Amino acid sequence: GAVVSQHPSRVICKSGTSVKIECRSLDFQATTMFWYRQFPKQSLMLMATSNEGSKATYEQGVEKDKFLINHASLTLSTLTVTSAHPEDSSFYICSASLGEPYYGYTFGSGTRLTVV
């Protein structure tokens, strides 16, 4: 089955630094990748949608200059949290799809970001 690998699983960084999270589709080419954010005991919220080779589409209220997304190949998307602050601490999860209707979405294992 489709597998999405997300790395790192946990990261602690100092306030003001940047953190990069990688999302790879291991056994399929992901036309579209998605980034979600999840606060404790809450649901997942879509942050942005990225298609290989084009600019990401951000959801309303998500700062594109703060959450930089790069989708350089059909198997890799990265999310960089720039100038991180404690309020950016959250669980970030990527997802990938083939871009075809009704084929489902595969999720990564998530990255726990703690900004101190």
Task: Give the interface with other proteins as residue ranges (CB under 8 A).
Answer: 6, 31-32, 34, 36, 41-46, 49, 59, 91, 93, 95, 97-110, 112
For residues 53 and 32, give the distance between their C-alpha atoms in angstroms, rounded to a whole number.
10
Nearest residue (CB) to other proteins, 8 versus 16: 8
Q: How far is the CB of 104 from other proteins (least distance, A)?
A: 6
Token pair, residue 50, equals: 């990225």
Half-sphere exposure of 49 (CA within 13 A, CB side): 9
Token pair, residue 70, equals: 């790069």
Nearest residue (CB) to other proteins, 81 versus 97: 97
Q: How far is the CB of 84 from other proteins (least distance, A)?
A: 20
Q: How far is the CB of 16 from other proteins (least distance, A)?
A: 26
Query: Which residue type occupies 21?
Result: I
